[in-house]
Structures are given as structure tokens and as C-alpha cells.
Amino acid sequence: MWEFKHACMHASLAALCLVSAACTKESAPTASDLKIERYANTKWSPALPGVDVTVLSGNPEAAGQPYSILIKCADGAGTKPHRHPTDGTAIVLQGTYLLGLGETYDPAKQQPLTVGDYVSVPKNVAHFDSCKGETVIYAHGIGPLGFNWVNPADDPTSAAKPQ
């Protein structure tokens, strides 16, 4: 009896290993999955006045999906107080990113983040920003990336939307 149970256990473990290997093999990345983006070839798209963006991976508009983007801001570009519906992180790659917290725009409250500095902004935290010099930021999060303006009149895209 013990030999039968022992044989069944070994057969079950072998089957589990085969299924696991088959599943892992199918989902394992290959060399063709490698993606290299050259900064010199970046295709920027306008996002807000003075702000261009390019998607490196994922879809920032897809709920529950990870994304990575580059954000390029002209000198002086920025946003008024707003919130994002999801957590986000960013690293400054070039220039100076000025970040302030709160529902009222106050440049005196902005903290400068320079090359290599990292910030993590929890969802629904009101903040505002601007850039000193051309600034490039790498940002990552889980979609959807959205802007909820503290004062809807501060939404720079609202003028383009039909009423």
C-alpha cells in the first residue's frame, strides 16, 4: 500500500512539474521581447501646454495596467493644483522639477528636484508643479493616469473640449 501511495505522489509531482514548466516556458521572455528606445529617436506628443510625453511601455489610460512614460517640459511649464486617481512615481533625468503640495498654487512651497531625484506621489494627493530649464522626467504608475483639477477652470485642456 505504501508503495502505491509513494508512486502516486511521485507521479503527481512529475505531472505538476511538467505543467509548471510548460506554463513557464510559454510566458518566459525571449530576445524578441527586448525593447530598446533611443532617446534621440523619441517621438513626442503634446500633452499639456509646454509639456510633451512619450509612452515607453504599457498604456497610461488602461485601468490596472502598468505604464512607463517620459515627460518633457519646456522652461516654465507646469500645472496648477490637481490630483491623480492612482499612485505614481517619477525620477528627474534632466533639468529641475519644482513640486509643491496642497490645493492652492503657491510657488514658494515648491521643492526643487534635480537630476536623479525620485518622488512618489500617492493617489489623490493635491499637488502642483513647474519646471526650470528644459526638464525630462521618467514616470511610472498603474493606469489610468488622469488629472482631477482642484479648480476645474485650471484644466488647460478644457478650452479645447466642446461644451
pLDDT in tens, 90-123: 999 999 999 999 999 999 999 999 999 999 999 9
For residues 112 and 51, what is the distance between their CA atoms, to the nearest angstrom?
A: 18
Which residues touch 102 (CB under 8 Å, ≥6 apart)?
81, 109, 126, 127, 128
User: How would you class 45 by CB atoms within 10 Å of its CB: exposed for 0-12, middle for 13-18, buried for 19 or more?
Assistant: exposed
Pick the closest to residue 136 from 101, 88, 107, 97 (CA basis): 97
pTM, two decimals, is: 0.79
Assign residue 13 a region (left: φ > 0; alpha: ψ between -120 and 50; beta: otherwise): alpha
pLDDT in tens, 129-153: 999 999 999 999 999 999 999 999 9
For residues 30 and 136, what is the distance between their CA atoms, to the nearest angstrom?
A: 30
Please give the pLDDT value at position 32. Answer: 82
What mean pLDDT comes out for the span 150-163?
A: 79
What mean pLDDT comes out for the span 37-63?
A: 95
DSSP 121-163: E-TT--EEEEEEEEEEEEEEEESPP--EESSGGG-TTGGGS--
Residue 3 has pLDDT above 70, yes or no: no
End-to-end alpha carbon distance in the chain: 79
Instruction: Name the residue ranges covered by the structural domains of the chain.
Output: 2-26, 39-149
The residue whose grid cell reads 483639477 is 149
Mean pLDDT, the chain, rounded, equals: 87
Higher pLDDT, 88 or 158: 88
CATH numeric code, 39-149? 2.60.120.10
